[in-house]
Structure 1
């Protein structure tokens, strides 16, 4: 069916409400907008879907949410023996329509005879992961668009281990969704009827309390925090998101009484009115937190994104200025601290493992090696870290210590299978306090590590290409790089080329190949002369082509110079390729 036929179908069908039809009538003279809304169905990727809200098959709306949930319901019924009885947990963030979309999903599940647990208010994504495990549910749903702009929303699916569905499961769920060619066949039911039949169950405080206690139990040095936590001044911002439901409560319970929450950003605000983007990777998002930190002379600033699965810290340096730590720097500090504290306490496991994504810093390899701990690389996407945790929990082969991604995602403990910004906030505060008591700050400790292991420096560049044409350029660009198989990139000789879609590693100097034993993914990675690394991948959640750069030098000046030159040359080469499309 053409995009115009789909558009007209939505206009005349009795299934779609008047508000939806009025929105579509308003764009009747804008064919480009009609095409963008209807040229395809909203992509349901390996973990779910994310996009702009609005009417249309390529937008997030209650009809698309219902259809996706019907596909999930069919998958649960067809692929599990007791999934209907075990049920599904649903959480949502502070965005526009998140409560409504969550209820729509719950009522579709209920109409299919699947028990549903729905949080009574916004909750952090990691608490959803925890709740799936705690309630022994078959799966979970989070309605969120993470750090995207206000006009976006999304839908993530989890399975019974508390992790996002992995590619094999996602393919089967997608197949079930694609079988539904008529929105009107999707089942739903009345809310009160679902409650009365025991199919819709509201949850809240009891899970909150259990989750908070679990986080305290997995953190190191909690005795120190209880005794001296007031010595560390902390400023926290949830950036108008779900972190407000857990992070201040956790830090206070740990003993950090000198805690200051940014008041303008303390409550859920679907418009994220005080920031241009609610992304803790953006320095501008810290503006209000920095003002409060300077006023309170804070040692540590902590920010979490709207669904509270990503955490970013900033630390006061010796001159009184606040320096931001990126995901790689924070991951390295976490790894070093956890290993150090475990060794000091005599509980460092013989078979310990740290799990990171293929685009995260390799500095952690040298640190872990000094403690006899293995570092395992997995594909980008925390679900792959969660998948390995579950595997090792079943086999006993490895003891999980830390998982992290360069994009501000971290997990300690085995209570969840997704990145947990609340746990990370607690760990950052405990770590900062411990070092303060020892007379150093986090920046000084990081400098010590770089002096010992070398100056690793990483960066990310993204090319954003919206719409159908943009997606085509992204596809053609990465296909061109794959087919060309360059021997030199940005003036550097390629030593090793990894193609994760073809599951193949090519050692150019040795003229040999070996299999990559990871799930296939549209990712290219190149190890270059001079300890440089480049990884290229299309974003799974945004219309972007991403380029991850990494260099290793003897000091900061050399690393910054090498990285700048590397990026400039590479992006110029990519622009030449794109000019052909």
Structure 2
């Protein structure tokens, strides 16, 4: 049996940070047992967890050992002196973690470009690709609660790492020595205009149009790092009438006005919606804290309402495909709306369905012009940013809204057109947050062992996606009928079980649109009742 006391003493001795050493010394045996029950492991492209001392948290010691593992992997696959870009958001610990990562990489012989200030994750992804770096590391926990931080890894080409690289790195981390014995070499932050180069690319992709200056926009970066960059990106593209949520504009690691700083969470976008109503904005934009996700609200007959990620994805895809070369590729994930699979061939394009996560979406195939996932993630410029990018998506959406305004139309009119063409689609997500992660496995086991045979009055086909013969193998169960689909899976980044629901109701005539949506909504509520009962 492992001697917990000896393990703790050794960790403290190896911890280079006096603050986390002291934190561990003050914990009782029960808390220590919890902290040392397991180490953070590589999940969605890296690490994510609470900022706390010990191997199960995000701290300087964990980041140092993780970076040592990354350096060992990169040394095996790339020539000495190759470049690595390191960036960070403004969360608790981000500055210290970024410095630790940069210094470990420098000591390992890499040429490190350390971004000098907190910056959006898409800027790091862009810099990694545009500079030809062999890797990029962004210290961020994206939209997680304030107590968390994370460590996101991009490999050459600027895409998130996938297997087997993640497994190789994890093995190197397991073999890493104590953090205090890992060499570190000081790194001066770069003076290169990385953010300016990113903004130039955004402006190049969607050039300024003087007629768009009149579109009034309300924007919030939700206490994150995207505010100044987003405002400048919009201004450079001709949008000068931008109003920001003052209480949420400056980066604040405590996120004082939102419990979960995710525009998808109920209530998170309330302040930007209120601002949009106050200033009579045509478009509301909400970025998550590291600005890789973008949610929008659109003015309609009953005020401004937030669109779902699937609705936004459909609008962007329709816009891009109307001018993209024939045979271009678009992609979405297994939990996103099925609309893209119908829209793409109707616009002369190809479609690919992938597993969840942009590490898979950006690898969908040659000719990729757009990829999205329902969790308000949009990759609108795969040649430059091979990840979701909330800022470039926001600029494109502003142009779409401005173009439509010149025609006396709105984004809601586009959604009406798409529903008439491809069927009225309604969807939602039902999440079951848990405190004990074992509950998620129990719920998935129950569903697999006794799946329903009917839902919402229809016979369902059940497909377990976690079987060896499944092309897109993942821990999920898919339930389908002719007019709806339910996918149940554990979250990859949060302690949740998620159910993704979609109903498609044929629209017989133009006048049938509203009744079709009502029929679809009734079916959706029945499916939601099932999801809540899991």
Shorter-chain TM-score tier? over 0.9
Q: d(CA) in 2 for partners of 1:117 and 1:570?
A: 46
Cα–Cα, structure 1 residues 144 and 204, in superposed 2: closer, same or farther, change >3 Å? farther
- Confirm or deny: 8 A CA contact 2:451 2:462 kept in the other structure: no
- Residues 315 and 377 (structure 1), Cα distance of their counterparts in 2 relative to 1, 3 Å cut: same
For the residue of structure 2 that corresponds to 1:449, the secondary structure is: helix
CA distance in 2, matches of 1:415, 1:181: 37
For the pair 1:460 / 2:413, whether they are aligned, the reply is no
Corresponding position of 1:21? 21
Is the 1:235–1:302 contact (alpha carbons within 8 Å) kept by the matching residues of 2?
yes
Partner of 1:196: none
Tell me the residue number matched to 1:213. 200
Greater helix proportion: 1
Report if the CA contact (8 A) 1:241-1:306 is conserved.
yes
The structural deviation recorded for 1:276 is 2.5
Residues 58-115 of structure 1, C-alpha deviations (whole Å, 9 max, x = no match)? 11111001111000011011222x1x32221011111111111100111111111111
CA contact (8 A) 1:3 1:40 kept: no
2:460 pairs with 1:475 = no
- When residues 385 and 201 of structure 1 are mapped into structure 2, their CA distance, relative to the original with a 3 A threshold, is farther
2:298 is aligned, of 315, 318, 331, to 315
Question: How far did residue 227 of structure 1 move?
Answer: 1.7
Alignment of 1:320-339 (within 5 A): 321-339=303-321
Structure 2 counterpart of 1:407: 375
Tell me: CA distance 1:490–1:455, structure 2 relative to 1, closer, same or farther (3 Å).
Answer: closer
Q: For residues 123 and 143 of structure 1, what CA distance do their matches in structure 2 show?
A: 10
Equivalent residue, structure 2, for 1:380: 356
May I ask how many residue pairs the two structures share in their alignment? 524
Alignment equivalent of 1:433, drawn from 385, 394, 402: 402
2: distance between equivalents of 1:6 and 1:419? 44
State how far apart, in whole Å, the 2-side matches of 1:450 and 1:350 are. Answer: 23
Q: Distance in 2 between matches of 1:76 and 1:570?
A: 43
Alignment of 1:257-336 (within 5 A): 257-319=240-302, 321-336=303-318
Deviations 1:526-546 (A, max 9, x none): 3x2232112122222112222
Answer yes or no: is the 8 Å Cα contact 1:148–1:278 preserved in 2: yes
Please report how far the alpha carbon of residue 151 of structure 1 lies from its aligned counterpart in structure 2 after TM superposition.
0.8
Is the Cα–Cα contact under 8 Å of residues 124 and 245 in structure 1 kept in the other structure?
Answer: no
Q: Quick one: distance in 1 between partners of 2:464 and 2:351?
A: 18
The one of 330, 335, 345 equivalent to 1:359 is 335
**Which secondary structure does the structure 1 equivalent of 2:362 belong to?**
helix
CA distance 1:87–1:6, shift in 2 (3 Å): farther
Q: 2:459 aligns with which of 493, 503, 512?
A: 493
Closer, same or farther: CA 79–41 of 1 in aligned 2, 3 Å:
same
The 2-side partners of 1:486 and 1:292 are apart by: 44
Structure 1 residues 151 and 230: CA distance shift in structure 2, 3 A: same
Residues 15 and 61, structure 2, Cα contact 8 Å, conserved in 1: no
Partner of 1:180, secondary structure, is: coil
- TM-score normalised to the size of structure 2? 0.93
The match for 1:234 among 202, 213, 217 is 217
Indicate how the Cα distance of structure 1 residues 410 and 6 shifts in structure 2: closer, same or farther if over 3 A, else same: farther
C-alpha distance after superposition, 1:109-133 (max 9, x if no partner): 1111111111000111111111011
Aligned to 1:252: 235
Structure 1: unaligned runs, 5 residues or longer: 192-199, 343-347, 393-398, 505-514, 575-581
1:492–1:571: structure 2 CA closer, same or farther, 3 Å change rule?
farther
Residues 11 and 178, structure 2, Cα contact 8 Å, conserved in 1: no
Q: Deviations over 1:215-251 (max 9, x none)?
A: 12223xx3xx522122210111111212124210010
- Mean Cα displacement is larger for which, 251-260 or 553-562? 553-562
Q: CA deviation at 1:181?
A: 5.7
Call closer, same or farther: CA 1:204–1:298 in 2, change over 3 Å.
Answer: farther
How far 1:496 moved relative to its partner?
Answer: 5.3
Task: Tell me by how many angstroms 1:430 deviates.
Answer: 0.1
Contact 2:42 2:170 in 1 (8 A): yes
Q: Say whether the 8 Å CA contact 1:7–1:56 is kept in structure 2.
A: no
SS at match of 1:137: coil
For 2:90, the equivalent position in structure 1 comes to 94
> Does 1:562 pair with 2:530?
no
1:536 corresponds to which residue? 488
Q: Is the counterpart of residue 144 in structure 1 residue 110 in structure 2?
A: no
Change (3 A) 1:443 1:112: same
| CA RMSD in angstroms, aligned pairs only | 2.1
Q: Distance in 2 between matches of 1:150 and 1:304?
A: 16
Partner of 1:502: 467
Counterparts of 1:463 and 1:35 in 2: how far apart (Å)?
A: 27
SS at match of 1:530: coil
- Offset, 1:349: 1.5
